[in-house]
Amino acid sequence: MTGILYGVGVGPGDPKLLTLQAVEVLQRVSVIAVPDTDGEKTAMKIVKDYIKGKEIMYCPMPMSRDLEFVASKHQESCEMLERELIAGKDIAFITLGDPTIYSTYMYIHKMMIEKGYSTKIIPGITSFCAAAAALNTSLCDRGDVLHIIPASYPDAEKQLMLDGSKVLMKSGKKLGEVKETLKRLDLYKNSQMVECCSMENEKIYRNLDQVSDDSSYFSIIIVKDK
């Protein structure tokens, strides 16, 4: 019998925000798959106390706009996972936040389903929900609409003009441009940001004037209409 591939959301940063279900799966599986982006292994740090003695597999998951190169690395990761699943081992592929929100894991997930393997998603606390909690505010009330916007992508400005609360993710190196867009749309004064939410170096910004344009990749901006 082949093993099961679990996509496990490990939350935004604080190990205490791991769900009980995530901990249960991490402790039960034989192999922990870690996304290898050639950068810091943040997800690995979150779960380290729960995976001692486990077999660790580093899966290449490059952060690149070269889609052909990325696809080849995803295929390589799938082949690594297949070998373990065929051997009957259950695998937990860890990913920050929730697997269904801008997670590169989902590319692997879909490919493995197409190959006929059994997969399950273990949800995690999202960074933007944790950011709202850190700001001591709600994301939406009553009939409010909530928009999740990838801020560094071309249609972001058009999406910012929609009614409702906005969560800006993936600002990356374009944070300065994002701030200027918020000013132009008269949304700047209604915007707050949390950098490295729930991590040891968490920073809360009630005013975006305090935010450096080279802030961490792990930055969430929340824009409220009121």
Backbone angles phi, psi at 139, to 5 degrees: -85, -35
Count: domains in the chain: 2
116-158 confidence digits (pLDDT tens): 999 999 999 999 999 999 999 999 999 899 999 998 888 889 9
> Are 68 and 137 contained in the same domain?
no
Q: Is the pLDDT of residue 226 over 70?
A: no
> Are 145 and 66 contained in the same domain?
no
Q: What is the CA radius of gyration of the chain?
A: 19
159-211 confidence digits (pLDDT tens): 999 999 999 998 877 888 999 999 999 999 999 999 999 999 999 999 999 99
Q: Is the pLDDT of residue 87 over 70?
A: yes
> Are 92 and 157 contained in the same domain?
no
> Are 141 and 66 contained in the same domain?
no
Please give the pLDDT value at position 25: 98
The amino acid sitting at 63 is M
Q: Is the pLDDT of residue 18 over 90?
A: yes
Average pLDDT value for the chain: 93
Which domain CATH number covers 147? 3.30.950.10
Instruction: Categorize the per-residue pLDDT at 63 as very low, low, confident or very high, splitting at 50, 70 and 90.
Output: confident
54 versus 213: the higher-pLDDT residue is 54
State which residues form the domain around 13: 4-122
Which domain CATH number covers 43? 3.40.1010.10
> Are 58 and 95 contained in the same domain?
yes
Q: How many other C-beta atoms are found inside a 10 Å radius of the C-beta of residue 50?
A: 18
Q: Is the pLDDT of residue 39 over 70?
A: no
Q: Which residue has the tokens 């995803």?
A: 74
> Are 175 and 81 contained in the same domain?
no
Task: Let me know: does 35 contact 43? Beta carbons within 8 Å.
Answer: yes
Instruction: Name the nearest CA neighbour of 147 among 129, 167, 126, 173.
Output: 167
pTM of the model: 0.92
Mean pLDDT, rounded, for 72-91: 96
Q: What percent of the chain has pLDDT over 90?
A: 80
132-142 confidence digits (pLDDT tens): 999 999 999 99
> Are 146 and 173 contained in the same domain?
yes
Joined together, the tokens standing for residue 25 give 């799966």
> Are 15 and 106 contained in the same domain?
yes
Bridge pairing between strands 31-36 and 91-95 = parallel
> Are 187 and 118 contained in the same domain?
no
Alpha helices in 29-66 (DSSP H): 42-47
> Are 143 and 87 contained in the same domain?
no
> Are 157 and 197 contained in the same domain?
yes
Gap between the Cα atoms of 45 and 15, Å rounded = 8
